[in-house]
Structure 1
Amino acid sequence: MIQFIPLILFSVALNAFAQLFIKKGMLNLGALDLSFDFILRGLGNIYLWIGMFCYGVSILSWMAVLSKVNVSVAYPFLGVGFILSAIIAYYIFGEPLTFYKIIGIGLICVGLVFLTMSKG
């Protein structure tokens, strides 16, 4: 299982970056509106395209992960995405990183350590 952690982390990181790029794109576009003008502006938004590309590659790499690792072990690693997105959003978007978020991040890290030590 340990040998697949880099692939798991790659997939999870891409998923987190997809979230961040889509957030950036939506900050540029404003509130979701299904008008023709909004759709055209969305199609021209590079951040949305990068976010969707990250999602696509993340899905393909996650398929590779699930072909090699038990889902009960791999899936909890999505928690790393919460850690990445919270920290990056703090620096890029100025989102709050509160005491409780930091405690939550620490608990996720402890849980992941126990998962990597499991035998199945």
Structure 2
Amino acid sequence: MTLPEFGIFLISILTSVTGQFLLKTGALQLGKVNATNWLGHIFGMLTTPALVAGLCCYGVGAVAYILVLTRVNLSVAAPAASLIYVFSVIMGYFFFREAISLNRAIGLGLIVCGVLLVIWKK
């Protein structure tokens, strides 16, 4: 993966992670869904700014990822996209005070090592 390809890929990753952050923020604003409030939640999803912005970020991330796919093999781009998981867990820790267990930290480390092996050029 060349530097320009990596730059587009990074835009895809960061906008997708930002989208996840905004979707989580919007979901917290909505509250828990149950059998009696599901219809109101669907309307709320369409009118909650954080959720709409999160979906827009996902859209930008998808467009950037498509641009990456025009330049990079799927066998490289798809595994590398798993970095979204790493950034999402880190974001959950810092912004939503979600715990990172030892098993999760090891798993994240393995993901990073796997991505490095997949994108490494000799």
TM-score by length of 2: 0.87
Partner residue, 1:38: 41
Amino acid at match of 2:100: L
Partner residue, 2:82: 79
Alpha-carbon separation, structure 2, partners of 1:7 and 1:71: 15
Alpha-carbon separation, structure 1, partners of 2:13 and 2:41: 30
Structure 1 stretches of 4+ moved >4 Å: none
Alpha-carbon separation, structure 1, partners of 2:79 and 2:6: 12
Q: Percent identity?
A: 31
Q: Cα gap change, 1:116/1:38 in structure 2, threshold over 3 Å: closer, same or farther?
A: closer
Partner residue, 1:15: 16
Two-structure CA RMSD over aligned residues (Å): 1.6
How many residue pairs get aligned? The number is: 118
Q: 1:53 aligns with which of 47, 52, 56?
A: 56
Unaligned segments of structure 2, at least 5 residues: none
Q: In the alignment, does 2:14 pair up with 1:2?
A: no
Amino acid at match of 2:24: K
TM-score by length of 1: 0.88
Alpha-carbon separation, structure 1, partners of 2:32 and 2:23: 12
Unaligned segments of structure 1, at least 5 residues: none
